[in-house]
Amino acid sequence: MKCVQRQPKLSRSEELLCYARSQKVIQVNTKLLGMEGDPDLKFLLQGGELLKVRSTSWKKPRYLRLLEDCKTMWRESQKTFKTNETFSLEDIAEVRRGRQSEGLKKYTEEQAEGCCFSIMFKGRRKNLDFIANSEEEAKQWVNSLEKLISNINNLNSQQKTEHWIFTCLMKADKNKDDKLTQSEVKDFFRLINIDIDDNYAEMLFKECDKSKSGYLDGKEIEHFYELLTHREEINVIYGTYAKTAGFMSPENLVEFLMTEQRELATLADAHRIIDKYEPDENVKEKKLLSKDGFVMYLHQPEALVLNPEHKDVYQDMSQPLSHYFISSSHNTYLMEDQLKGPSSTEAYVRALMKGCRCVELDCWDGSDDEPVIYHGYTLTSKILFKDVIRAIKEYAFKTSDYPVILSLENHCSVAQQEVMAQHMSSILGSALITSPLGDSMPTNLPSPEELKGKILIKGKRLNKLEASFASEEKEGEDGIKKKNKLKLAKALSDMVVYCKSVHFRSFEDAKNNQSFYEISSFKEGDAIKLAEESANAYIRYNVDKLSRIYPAGSRTDSSNYNPVPLWNTGCQIVALNFQTACTDMDVNQGRFLVNGKSGYVLKPAYMRDSATEFDPITLTRGDWLKHKLLHVMVISAQQLPKVNQKKSSIVDPLVKVQVFGVPADAAEKETHPIENNGFNPGWNENFQFDVYVPDLALVRFVVEDYDFMSENEFIGQYTLPFNSLKMGYRHVPLLSRNGDLLPSAGLFLHIMVLDAE
């Protein structure tokens, strides 16, 4: 970095040394990425000037380029007092070409369409909007960034580790002489999240300093890297099964897969693994698997803790909608709290890209006869209804092909309801369901399969004999009861086909008077009370009718509630604030991690039977009771991120294993903390859990930074359904608080599931 940013003038020899070193760094990183000589990478390394857009009047030049680590972008301000900023390519969610962000649509003219592009970030970081000098240049930026991001994402765990460690080594080498002094080695350890005492650092340094020169270079740094990445726990496992001249033969590998991993493996499977993952061609020729190949295999998706057969759609998708849990969002338009936070179409994009299949639209009269969406009677910002519908149209089916439900909270006048209907009809077109499927009158809800690529409207609907308006007392989702003269536009009413909103009175009343296409919404307090006091009746009700649950109006901070008790009673549309990162959202993400991230998960058979006796609280005997013992050995973790980016800040990690499900299954156990080691902490601690209803259970692995003075700080987590666990030695990827993958970070566990009886 020092070589290319504007610094005090260097001598010619210093400039040449600086340039040579920067080229060496680039060469190593491009080789790791498999992009030697790539023109797109060369373009990004050279960079260029772009116009950054913040408002109609604020458009200023910014120089943007890729740093030598090939994963960090740097931009320079053109202010009098120069400032610069960096961001990691791993933090980018999407690069969009054209005027495809709220800012560019609002602050640029249509004729600039081809020259515009946006960098959209994960989490709450503000997007960057740019205008390039030409359409060709904008296309080059988008294509080059997408290509490099794809290459980085496609690196295996071992390659990501090499990339990261090499980058940290370069940072630790303060005088840029390609040598590491003992002091620089200590700094390097802090960069990779380890704090070691001086005696151990000196011992390690001396072990690597074979030349006795007082510094490490060349082969000595390679030896240092090997010591650093040595994993004794893997060596022990490999050594147990490497019975063929120190290597694993196909027969040895089959023995490992069947004995430890509990997989029905064949010699053909073993040959495929060796052909695919063995890095040494000489070893591969002999049909053997080296330790490096074994480590590489253990980091592959097929060998991780999540059953790879559950990553794609594997469930029956031809049953009625009411037979599925449906990923659902509340106040989808909000980016933050519901009192003064911003509303944004990006919030819809993020929810849909996470597989959400039911989004909420709070609709109010806007100026110029254009309906708006915001949290009424608050200071939250307003966005146009039509812009939201356009965003939904574009992103509804990028993550999942299965149907999206638009839950309308309608506060508009009849005139603007007509506008709403017109926008939905013209923008959504044939994707919008406006009449029942098939030629005959339906008797139950259609299936996700039948509704692929379709959008349904949930809202009020006029009966044939009703007048054009109805008077009713309604409790809004803000908790305020209002006497409304509800005037409903026929055009909007006619768009409500399978999700007609009705008030819930009782289970007995619903049994006699509520049709399958009528849906009731329950605020969380009412729903939890029903789940606790009438669980079986609630489950039976939810067999052929949809229930939508929403957070209490008192949650002005957009906090969430625990969705598990509602899933336990068969509620399908358990709506959460997707904009709020928390344990409840982690559990929600875990529930919908499987089945192709389709946003639909089939309920167990005993929750799809209207005569079921299942009660998650009393747990009387039945098909649901399948008592299992879950054994978890927490072995180690790798490359945990810092929670505080100060160089001197090192984490003290501990691991919690949590089980969510019916009350009898809820449990949590934790390891002891490891002091000052976020790079390769080891625990080797064993836990056992009783799981009585595995169909409804979820397992969450969470890593925290221990603090005896205050609350532990979150580092990363991973949640998945109990029935999707793979047994044996498994790596567990870790997700950030926002639900994004933490590069290189992970846990290493041994998992066993046994029948208790």
Q: What is the pLDDT of residues 193-237, one digit of tens each?
A: 777 767 777 888 888 888 889 888 888 888 888 887 889 999 999
Average pLDDT over residues 252-264: 96
Task: Identify the pLDDT of residue 107.
Answer: 93
Which carries the bigger pLDDT value, residue 368 or residue 341?
A: 368
Which residues are documented as binding site for substrate?
52-79, 458, 460, 521, 548
Strand-strand pairing, 682-691 and 628-638 = antiparallel
Q: What pLDDT does 2 receive?
A: 34
Answering whether pTM is above 0.75, one says: yes
Number of H helices, E strands in the chain: 22, 30
Mean pLDDT, range 316-320, rounded to an integer: 98
Ranges of CATH 3.20.20.190 domains, the chain = 321-465+487-607
pLDDT at residue number 646: 65
Does the pLDDT value for residue 568 go beyond 50?
yes
Q: Which of 394, 398, 311, 387 is nearest to 353 (CA)?
A: 398
**Where in the chain do CATH 1.10.238.10 domains reside?**
158-229, 232-303
Where does residue 355 fall: left (phi above 0), alpha (psi -120 to 50 degrees), or beta otherwise? left
Question: Is the separation of the CB atoms in 489 and 425 below 8 Å?
Answer: no
Closest CA to 122 of 160, 89, 98, 163: 89
pLDDT for 286-297, tens place per residue? 999 999 999 999
> Where would I find the H helices in 306-373?
345-353
Architecture category of domain 158-229 in CATH:
Orthogonal Bundle (1.10)
- Binding site residue list: 52-79, 331, 360, 362, 409, 458, 460, 521, 548, 650, 652, 676, 705-707
Question: CA-to-CA distance for 89 and 87, rounded, in angstroms?
Answer: 7
Q: Where in the chain is the domain with CATH 2.60.40.150?
A: 628-755
Q: Give the mean model confidence (pLDDT) for residues 493-512.
A: 95
DSSP letters along 493-549, please? HTT-SSEEE-----HHHHHHH--TTEEEEEEHHHHHHHHHHSHHHHHHHHHHS-EEE
Report the mean per-residue pLDDT for the chain: 90
For 661, other C-beta atoms within 10 Å of its C-beta total: 24
Q: How many CB atoms lie within 10 A of CB 605?
A: 13
Q: Give the model's pLDDT for residue 123.
A: 82
- The first and second tokens of residue 242, run together, are 């490497």
Q: Is the dihedral of CA 641, 644, 645, 650 positive or negative?
A: negative
Give the residue numbers of the binding site for Ca(2+).
331, 360, 362, 409, 650, 652, 676, 705-707
Would you say residue 15 has pLDDT above 50?
no
- Identify whether the C-beta of residue 445 lies closer than 8 Å to the C-beta of residue 321: yes
Least confident range from 154-163, 468-477, 603-612: namely 468-477
The one-letter code for the residue type at 167 is T
Yes or no: domain 628-755 corresponds to CATH 1.10.357.10 = no
Would you state the pLDDT for residue 173? 82
Chain-centroid distance of CA 210 in Å reads 46
* Biggest CA-to-CA distance, the chain: 95
Q: Is the model more confident about 723 or about 163?
A: 723
pLDDT at 133 over 50: yes
The string of pLDDT tens digits covering residues 578-605 is: 999 999 999 999 999 999 999 999 999 9
User: What amino acid positions are annotated as catalytic residues?
Assistant: 330, 375
Residue 647 confidence (pLDDT):
56
Beta-carbon neighbour count of residue 582 at 10 Å? 16
Class assignment of domain 321-465+487-607?
A: alpha beta
Q: How far separated are the first and last CA of the chain, in Å rounded?
A: 62
pLDDT tens across 84-120, in order? 688 999 999 999 999 999 999 999 999 999 999 999 9
Mean pLDDT of the region 145-150 = 94
- Beta pairing class for 653-660 and 667-670: antiparallel
pLDDT the model gives residue 226: 82
- % of the chain with per-residue pLDDT over 90: 71
169-192 mean pLDDT:
83
Residue 302: other Cβ atoms inside 10 A? 15
CA distances from 140 to 64, 101, 630 (A): 13, 19, 51
Type of residue numbered 605: A
Question: Reduced to 3 states, what is the DSSP secondary structure of residue 119?
Answer: strand
Q: So what's the pLDDT on residue 477?
A: 58
Residue 638 CA from chain centroid, whole number:
20
Stretch among 41-45, 241-245, 555-559 having the lowest mean pLDDT: 555-559
Q: What is the CATH number of domain 232-303?
A: 1.10.238.10
pLDDT tens string 666-725: 999 999 999 999 989 999 999 999 999 999 999 999 999 999 889 999 999 999 999 999
The CATH number of the structural domain formed by 30-154 is: 2.30.29.30
Q: What is the DSSP letter of 628?
A: E
> Residue 537: how many CB atoms within 10 A of its CB?
17
Spatial contact of 579 and 587, defined as CB atoms under 8 Å apart: no
Question: How do the residues of the chain divide into helix, strand and coil, expressed in percent and rounded to 5?
Answer: 35, 25, 40
Tally of CA atoms within 13 A in the half-sphere of 202 that contains its CB: 3
Query: What residues form DSSP beta bridges with 485?
Result: 471
Element (H, E) at 162: helix 157-172
Q: Mean pLDDT over residues 266-288, rounded?
A: 96
The pLDDT score that the predictor gives to residue 23 is 65
Mean pLDDT calculated for residue range 135-154: 94
pLDDT the model gives residue 44: 95
C-alpha–C-alpha distance, residues 355 and 327, integer Å: 7
Q: 671: which DSSP letter?
A: P
**Cβ–Cβ < 8 Å for 717, 581:** no
What share of the chain has pLDDT > 70, as a percent?
Answer: 92
